[in-house]
Structure 1
Amino acid sequence: MKNYFVDLHIHIGRTKTGKPVKITGSKTLTLTNILKAAKIPKGLDIIGIIDCHSPEVIAEIEDLLYSGEMIEMEDGGFRFQDSVTLIPGVEIEVNDEYCQGPLHVLGYFPSLKRLKEFSNWYSQRVKNNQLSTQRIREDAKQLQKKIKSLEGMFIPAHVFTPFKSLYGKGVKKSLTEVFDQNLIDGIELGLSSNTEMADHIEELHEYTFVSNSDAHSLAKIAREYQVVKLEAPTFQALKKAFQQKDGNKIVANYGLNPYLGKYYESTCAKCFAKKFGDICEKCGSTQFTKGVAERIQEITTASNGPTRPPYIHQVPLDFLPGLGPKTLDKLLDHFGTEMNILHNVSKNELEKVVKPDLVDLIMKARNGALQLSAGGGGQYGKVSDQQ
């Protein structure tokens, strides 16, 4: 058994030929670029790329397999340059007759064969199979059954965000309004929540929580991730970890303090001022974007939850005041990967490379001791440079 760094929600911005996949994703987010960046500079061991259903992305996977740069593993997943495991997946928008509003879900597949089978089925139910996160013309439970019939994993995505999520838009109170609760493999928390907040929902107590980046650029990969103890870096071992079988398990979730998330607090929908009443004190609007904290308070059904892996509030390096691209490059030149800097490099070693004030911020980021201002309405929270 070995511990692995895992981020299972990374988008593809463009195909190898330049065609868009995730419209809002960076042009540098190609499959091969992601695979290379995942190990150096990010330091990840397993990544889930959730736009692999796209026909041109499938073609790029086949090219990498043909060239020998990547191999398909017997227990599922693809191994790139013997250093990073790719778990192929898809993000889908669901809005069937049982939904209160559109919500996003994630599906993951063990093999090229299963991925292609799903892509063919999916293409008959969406407008454009080339693009990411398309709205599917299918009942949510039928979608679950299809993914599971292909030996896949099904996970509701960023379940508390105000827009296009399970609890933010999709249901009044319970996931059973839309989904078969027995066909869910895990719950993705999203950037504005953590384990403690999510466990106020009793129906989530039976599921494993995952914390992923939802990266739309190479820089944002691994802003949230987990450490997972696995018998091997494969699809089947990861699936066992979600079920806590045979010693495979999530050891710890690492993510932003919810204060740093874009949707933690309720804010005015027009000017983004924080909500203190029914009328915005700044612009007079009565339209508000409900924050994650307020929404969880509305649907709380439990005061605490089961014993879970620790959720560690770790601030990504690019959130730190004074740590610009040149300084980050300097750190990476000396220490290799962001995971190494965040987890392993000693204070003494860091002080040999960057100024003491920045070293202090990095150590506080590692220990969850930074001062933060809350985000909301689509704007990230901030790390205070007045420590």
Structure 2
Amino acid sequence: MTGALDGFRIIDFSRVLAGPYATMLLGDFGAEVIRLERPGVGDDTRQWGPPWHEGEATYFLGLNRNKRSLGFDLTDEHDRAEVRKLIATADVVVENFKPGTMERYGLGYEQLKAEFPGLVFCSVTGFGSGKGAHLPGYDLIAQATGGLMSITGHPDTGPQKVGVALVDAITGLHAAIGIQTALIHRLRTGEGQYVEVNLLSSALASLTNQITGHILTGSVPGLMGNAHPSVCPYQPVMTADRPLAVAAANDKQFRALARALGREELADDDRYSTNTARVAHREELIKELESVFRTRDADHWFSVLVEAGVPNGPINDLGQAVALAEELGLDPVVHPTDEPEGEGVAQIRNPIRLSATPAVYRTNPPKLPGSSDF
């Protein structure tokens, strides 16, 4: 099957998460991705375990399907000359070294664009290539400095990072979008360009309504646990056995919730009849709702609220989340098709579904190169 990006070659110098995630997504749609790794050392995430799968870190395996790796020593003049020849055959270069590193070795965008005017060159940094160039680009630091941790967590326990490297993943998405946009421009004009994304900017952009509220009003949101600053009820509530997330995001849904709980009078109470009023009286409302929710278990209320048209769901662990996706026919787990039967490393499905040129899972993540391939 032909992929939407068949015929495009990407030279991938990136490591860890944001860059590799971007190139994996593009590889799923047919782009040829050639990773360049230090021989015998490779990507940092090759050592980031447990957990391990047959001696390999699952962290690395989850970010590098549909790629091949070549051993490459950036400090070796011969290797650099050979890589420059490889770039001559490429459409895209992706790198996330400390700003200035590629330039030091003659491989920066400004050093390449005259010779390769159609090249799309994507740099992923932590805090930009200007005054923040010296700051290390780690997801935890971006979550902290970008404000995400200041609104994640409970007032009693303090700020909390998200349970996955979310800013890295969002930055990878931005990188993939930037690369595709630049390729569309090149198809129209023949002109390549420089694409730059950074963790801090991606963190700020991902704060959406929270950051817009601050910019427009000067308000500084704080820790609210699992509650929503602008909508209520939009949080977990406690049932007889475990929490259930409830998202009655408008007045119609709240009335349906009150009816399903046998407490329809709540929807006519001036304290709860509008969303603004419910937000103002959040604590009283949640107590009223939980007095009913605690009488039955989460599975019971899930069924009742689904029937009533009220968005809700149990707080699943990862196993339960995958099982739910399977139950709904989303086929969340895939295996590479070009590997011998039974040897394809299970992967989570690319979430973008295209009707004519869907994602294809061709090969396992590549093995660590043992020596220079140039």
- TM band (smaller chain): under 0.3
The alignment's TM-score, normalised by the length of structure 2, stands at: 0.27
The alignment's TM-score, normalised by the length of structure 1, stands at: 0.27
| Structure (1 or 2) with the larger CA radius of gyration | 2
